[in-house]
Structure 1
Amino acid sequence: MAFIDATQKRDVRKLSGRFLAGVLTLLGIAALIVTADLGFAQDGAAESGRPAHLHAGSCGEETLGVVVAALTDLSLSGGEVSGQPSAALVETSFNTVPLSLDALLAEDHAIDIHRSADDIADPIACGEIGGVPEPDGSVIIGLKEQNQSGFAGIAYLSGSEDSTSTFISIFVSDGQSAGGAGAAPRAGSQAATETIEPEVVDISLTEWDIDLEPIVPAGLVALDAANDGTMRHSQAIEGDGVDAQLPQSLHPGEAGQFEVALTPGAYTLYCPIGDHRQRGMEIEITVVE
């Protein structure tokens, strides 16, 4: 059973704003904010929170072991937004688990986060517990994106004074802001003064096929992929210096869009999930003037 007490609150306050911001930047949260401008739909916080668990083992479908402790669901802080509305929102979870930090470091353990209680099969972020301890003995780990979810973050672990338990504070973000998008363009920039409408290309993803018009006009293109199949898919494109893909996977019935600038030539579209490309989810298109 996870809970938060006054000692943990004091530990959380030890993380100065500057230090935490630096860690988040290194982990790519700033990059996530940029990707919010690409035009795909952001996945907001689950209404009932995002389940999180402490596992034995390491991240990965084959290597993640049994649940050692259930952690409190991640959620956004309630209340009115202060400061810039374009600031990325962060979901948090604060916990105390009845294991010493030394015990968590002595054997393989990982923190796994899921999209929702109804979508528990595919984790959205995961991080192995390990790293160089801070001077006070605490450890900060990275929570890496899983299944192209768009989520990443950190977890802060500190041991109790009697070395019988560990305080675990979790912070994740997908770059979504309070206004529902990433940072706005700076005044005077080309993006702020001129809007270029992309050519929308509709794509249908099924098992094991990608269906779209094979001739695409050059210029700014919005690849609008819809999962019309019965399992999770995604969309990527490569060729002529282009290597881009949807930042998230699509469950059946979902759609996502990302923009790329294409020059005349040949390009390959494919599904980057598992062996889907090898099973036939690959198609070549021609871009013309």
Structure 2
Amino acid sequence: MVALAATVLTGASAAATSPAPAAAPAGDGGPAVVVVKMVDYRLLQPAFLPPGTYTFKAFNAGRHPHAVEIAGPDVSNARTAVVQSGQVTEVTVTLRPGVYDFWCPVGDHRQRGMQLFVKVG
């Protein structure tokens, strides 16, 4: 878990200083991994992805509890656990071409701007 957190922290730190990284393919041919940095009140992740299966590793870099929920073509009820500051959670989904809505379902976080539309195609 510590190694995973360090890996996610490194990716999340890079995302804060540069454009969001593209998805990294899994070494074992499994789902590609996308780091999502959850901050108070934004989601930092790629806004464009090719179709495929992804594991979204969501790192809470904010002070408040956060989660990620995803909806779009053939995807509903895809949601991470709610995690506290400094914690990591994940969800794996298959994305087909289309537009997907990513948001934080905690409290009024979505209304405060913690939402991102991701184009897949």
TM-score by length of 2: 0.73
- Number of the residue aligned with 1:245: 79
Q: Distance in 2 between matches of 1:196 and 1:240?
A: 24
Deviations 1:83-126 (A, max 9, x none): xxxxxxxxxxxxxxxxxxxxxxxxxxxxxxxxxxxxxxxxxxxx
Superposed, 1:77-88 pairs within 5 Å as none
Q: Distance in 1 between matches of 2:52 and 2:42?
A: 25
- Number of the residue aligned with 2:64: 231
Rg larger for: 1
Could you tell me the percent identity over the aligned residues? Answer: 32
Q: Number of paired residues?
A: 93
Deviations 1:207-245 (A, max 9, x none): 111111111121111111100000100011001121110
- Number of the residue aligned with 1:206: 39
Matched residue type, 2:30 = E
- Number of the residue aligned with 2:4: none
Unaligned runs of 5+ residues in structure 1 are: 1-194
Unaligned runs of 5+ residues in structure 2 are: 1-27
Q: Distance in 2 between matches of 1:207 and 1:222?
A: 22
Matched residue type, 1:259 = T
- Number of the residue aligned with 2:30: 197
- Number of the residue aligned with 2:102: 269
Matched residue type, 2:31 = P
Superposed, 1:1-289 pairs within 5 Å as 196-243=29-76, 244-246=78-80, 248-288=81-121
Q: Please state whether the residue corresponding to 1:273 is helix, strand or coil.
A: coil
Matched residue type, 1:238 = A
Q: Distance in 2 between matches of 1:213 and 1:258?
A: 16
Q: Distance in 2 between matches of 1:236 and 1:285?
A: 12
Q: Please state whether the residue corresponding to 2:64 is helix, strand or coil.
A: coil
Q: Distance in 1 between matches of 2:92 and 2:109?
A: 22
Matched residue type, 2:42 = D
Q: Distance in 2 between matches of 1:201 and 1:216?
A: 10
TM-score by length of 1: 0.31
